Structure 1
């Protein structure tokens, strides 16, 4: 069995093609600690490692920034709760899992806080898991709906979104008591938010920018009634 090595990082950087490989936690650590870490994203689930590109194309960057703006508009309108976004920050649960989702949202108490001298990662043995994570899928939708979905379910993350850029689609999943995700048409973490409204906001990118789309979203939720 061929396991992942730091050499695989160079292959991904050269081809731009992400790949899952059999791996141990030690293999993951070797890739994580390579000098090229800032150019890649790593995902590890028990015995499988994904090395993915860290740099973003125009479409990916635009949609990723759009959703962070949507979070801001939502919380300014509906709740006084503490909320924090940590998109693409590395999450680690030592020896078992690691991930760097495009979208990472914490709501309420227990938001991770970095202190001087600590590693610049979110240690899931110290901090609770995020309330919501998401992946912006331009060329990675197959793995976003398969192995990454399993990874986030195994971590116990309550809600997971896959944003299909090309299809202008948002596929949202809610974690069930069984430990499996089930697709949902309305967010539970952002209580009362229809997933269809997110898709309509994505459609606005066909005729404007991510900022104009975010402003349109803020106008729509001004009249939205939630329980």
Structure 2
């Protein structure tokens, strides 16, 4: 337990064993924290969620469900769900989705999702306010290893979405249109984020509805 003999440094990657990670992540003091483990390091995020972060989270969650509803795409979304490959890695994306034929594979229950028994989601999304550099860096590598189909980072401060398609065994590449949500341009969601700075969510929702119906 040498790594954790001093006060735990949060909101950055810290060298730790898997047992140390589990010990910390199950500590009641970190009940509301987001927990990640990758490549022999853990990250415990305790930074309070800002109103802008929370608002963008709600908008993206709503937009994707609305799009799938209009386009008759089967989907099951999960909010702040933890995915664990025992002894190896863990991720807790802000939002994740199982889409199309795989929607029925979305996990249920009250425990951390065990990726030894359940496949990874198709889409993982991180809402980045103060964590942008890590979200497009180390976490992107983590989601590549988890083999999600797409990984999006919502840059709260700049109202941008940095979207990646994960290439099996070959990293990831930037995309401007979703490949698992056919016909959905990332730029349209970015415009919705910008509009949300001046309009209420019902107004932005009505605008999104009109845009999605035209696609």
Q: Same fold (TM over 0.5)?
A: yes
| TM-fit CA distance, 1:46 | 2.9
What's the TM-score once normalised by structure 1's chain length? 0.87
Alignment partner of 1:86: what SS? strand
Rounded Cα–Cα distance in structure 1 between residues aligned with 2:158 and 2:14:
28
CA pair 58-166 structure 1, distance change in 2 beyond 3 A:
same
Alignment map for 1:212-227 (pairs within 5 Å): 212-224=203-215
Unaligned runs of 5+ in 2: none
Residue 15 of structure 1 corresponds to which residue in structure 2?
none
Asked if structure 2 preserves the Cα contact closer than 8 Å seen for 1:6 and 1:30, the reply is no
Alignment partner of 1:213: what SS? helix
Residue 68 of structure 1 corresponds to which residue in structure 2?
61
1:58 maps onto 2:51 in alignment: yes
Residue 112 of structure 1 corresponds to which residue in structure 2?
107
Alignment map for 1:89-108 (pairs within 5 Å): 89-107=81-99, 108=103
Residue 47 of structure 1 corresponds to which residue in structure 2?
40
Q: Choose the corresponding residue for 2:17, options 11, 17, 24.
A: 24
Alignment partner of 1:192: what SS? coil
Alignment map for 1:204-219 (pairs within 5 Å): 204-219=195-210
Q: RMSD of the alignment, in Å?
A: 1.9
Unaligned runs of 5+ in 1: 13-17
Cα deviation, 1:135-194, whole Å, max 9, x if unaligned, reads: 101111000010000000011111000000111100100011343010001101111100
Q: Choose the corresponding residue for 1:143, options 112, 120, 134.
A: 134
1:87 maps onto 2:82 in alignment: no
| TM-fit CA distance, 1:69 | 0.5
Residue 184 of structure 2 corresponds to which residue in structure 1?
193
Residue 158 of structure 1 corresponds to which residue in structure 2?
149
| TM-fit CA distance, 1:23 | 1.1
Asked if structure 2 preserves the Cα contact closer than 8 Å seen for 1:66 and 1:211, the reply is no
What's the TM-score once normalised by structure 2's chain length? 0.92
Of stretches 171-180 and 209-218 in structure 1, the one that deviates more from structure 2 is 209-218
CA pair 54-75 structure 1, distance change in 2 beyond 3 A:
farther
Of stretches 132-141 and 173-182 in structure 1, the one that deviates more from structure 2 is 173-182
Asked if structure 2 preserves the Cα contact closer than 8 Å seen for 1:161 and 1:171, the reply is yes
Rounded Cα–Cα distance in structure 1 between residues aligned with 2:79 and 2:15:
26
Rounded Cα–Cα distance in structure 2 between residues aligned with 1:217 and 1:98:
33
CA pair 178-63 structure 1, distance change in 2 beyond 3 A:
same
